[in-house]
Structure 1
Amino acid sequence: MSTQLPVLVGIDGSRDGLIALTWAASYAMLHDAPLHAVHVVDDDRHVAVGAPPNARDDGSEVLEDALDELELIGFRAASLEVRHGQPAQVLLEQSEHSQALVVGRRGMGGFAELVLGSTSQVCTALSTTVPLVVVPDTWDPAAPPRGRIVVGIDGSVEGQDALQFAFEQAATTGAEILGLHAVEIPKSYPDPNVWDDPDQEPWRDTADELLTRTLEGWTAKYPDIAVHRRSVTDHAVLALARESRDADLVVVGGLGRTAFSELRMGSVARGLLYHSHSPVAVVHHPEF
């Protein structure tokens, strides 16, 4: 029996919840970890919409659907639980005793607010010290793996935690790594006609140097993983979303919990949750 911390997944009775459950089970199998699926009954929500007490969700149908899905994929190292409370808050509390938190991008309301709701909910939900993986409904569990993990690189301390997660996942799956650095060129930037070398973008050397410096320690630690580097002139969200079409996973850093920011999650991670075609892992930097 595995002694590892479980992989935590939020289920809510929606198709997205089942897709997230399947991804989480696959991740748990790869890491020889148990799976813990939680359905949170938000009693306040039922009261707000005026549902009579006998018509309120007791979670039994959601758990039955989840059990059927796990049986279908042959995964048995799972525990399932119904809790009552605010979904994001309950998941955060549970994640403190987990190695990763997995949710679907959209759902029937149970977890939609976790990633696509108000700013305050997103900030609260993503102030977690474990990786958060958001699985879009475009992810097809039956499709063969692409064998590629894309990781956003900006040279920050937070980005090192994302790189660690990406390389560990690549080592487990045999995937290659694409380190992507996006540079936004301001409109005020000089016209190419006045560059010293019209054929050489002046920011390219700096971007390539950042990629090399950031990745060199990880390539030395994981010499068997194929690593590719790419710098592009584009908004980071658009560049990462484009690469997600041909990736098994996109990994980005979150902001540290001590960061003074309206959105602890960071604008790139937040935007990517809406636009990525593959699952997105948001990896937070712990408190200093």
Structure 2
Amino acid sequence: MSAGLPVLVGIDGSLDGLIALGWAASYATLRRAPLHAVYVLDEQRQLPASTPPTGPDDGSEVLADALEELERLRFTAASLEVRHGHPTKVLLELSERAQALVVGRRGMGGFAELVLGSTSQACTALSTDVPLIVVPDTWDPTAPPHRRIVVGIDGSVEGQDALRFAFELADATNAELLGVHAAAVRESYPDPNVWVDPSRQPWAGAADQLLAQTLDDWNAKYPEVSVDQRAVADHPVRVLANESEFADLMVVGGLGHTSFSELRLGSVARGLLHHSHCPVAVIHHT
């Protein structure tokens, strides 16, 4: 992460945007970084015919609500601005001069597309230089933290950047780190009676070895971080979504192989972002 660069957050006038703003402020405090909140006026977005006419939107109300929320949080190192253009393009351009990009999972304006539509795929695919954090509208900043960060592991080289991010954040927040691997299991296996250990499924040994080899090197670099590992034979969306219920952050790589190969553009990313109970950080390999 680049010291001195701001944490960038997209706001859109919705409650969801304010929740993302709160998460971004907490993260900026942790990183000792300034916060840059941006409202993008998407002038090409068509409003429904049933929408009553209103005055021109200059973004002043959105910025005022954001400023009020920051004052409530007692966060002062922030800059706020209005930009014109397509939200994804503007955010990605600004993220080139930021250390992280934070958006809400749902919103009332253009940012709704960032997760639910094609804009989400573009943002996830193209945000290669900074972490992209998607904050669900169910995130409660007043709830006691779980002190746990979960990272999805597939053994790929590309996944090392996600591990670096997860370990660094776990070290900074004194959180436990849980490495999770969703094992790809064939539809059929030999009769359990012929296994060496009938109580142990045959895929477990390889999965545990992959997790140990992946985590041991990083644990040596961050010896103060408490590390646990878990291998589950199931769909990665279900595995990670279940773990997210007891986590403060879910970290996944933007491009990998095996179970997590679709996290860059495919259904796994969309499914996880829809169903995660905690914020999700997508870390791209640079």
Same-fold call, TM > 0.5? yes
Moved more, 268-277 or 212-221: 268-277
**TM superposition shift of 1:47:** 7.2
Distance in 1 separating the partners of 2:56 and 2:50? 10
Deviations 1:266-288 (A, max 9, x none): 543332101100000000011xx
What secondary structure, in the 3-state scheme, does the structure 2 residue paired with 1:234 have? Answer: coil
Deviations 1:14-57 (A, max 9, x none): 01000000000000000100000000001111578698997332
Distance 1:131 1:3, change over 3 A: closer
Distance in 2 separating the partners of 1:219 and 1:262? 27
2:109 paired with 1:109: yes
Distance in 2 separating the partners of 1:90 and 1:53? 26
Partner of 2:183: 183
Partner of 2:24: 24
What secondary structure, in the 3-state scheme, does the structure 1 residue paired with 2:44 have? Answer: helix
Distance in 2 separating the partners of 1:79 and 1:190? 61
What secondary structure, in the 3-state scheme, does the structure 1 residue paired with 2:45 have? Answer: helix
Specify the code of the residue in structure 1 equivalent to 2:229: R
Moved more, 189-198 or 126-135: 189-198
2:171 paired with 1:171: yes
Moved more, 266-275 or 167-176: 266-275
**TM superposition shift of 1:184:** 3.3
2:133 paired with 1:133: yes
Distance in 2 separating the partners of 1:262 and 1:49? 37
Moved more, 197-206 or 77-86: 197-206
Distance in 1 separating the partners of 2:221 and 2:115? 33
Query: Does structure 2 conserve the Cα–Cα contact (< 8 Å) formed by 1:182 and 1:239?
Result: yes
**TM superposition shift of 1:144:** 1.6
Partner of 1:34: 34
Distance 1:79 1:153, change over 3 A: same
Query: Does structure 1 conserve the Cα–Cα contact (< 8 Å) formed by 2:115 and 2:121?
Result: no
Count of residue pairs the alignment pairs up: 279
Distance in 1 separating the partners of 2:263 and 2:15? 28
Alignment map for 1:170-249 (pairs within 5 Å): 170-249=170-249
Partner of 1:276: 276
> Structure 1: any 5+ residue segments left out of the alignment?
none
Identity %: 68
What secondary structure, in the 3-state scheme, does the structure 1 residue paired with 2:122 have? Answer: helix
Length-normalised TM-score, structure 2: 0.91
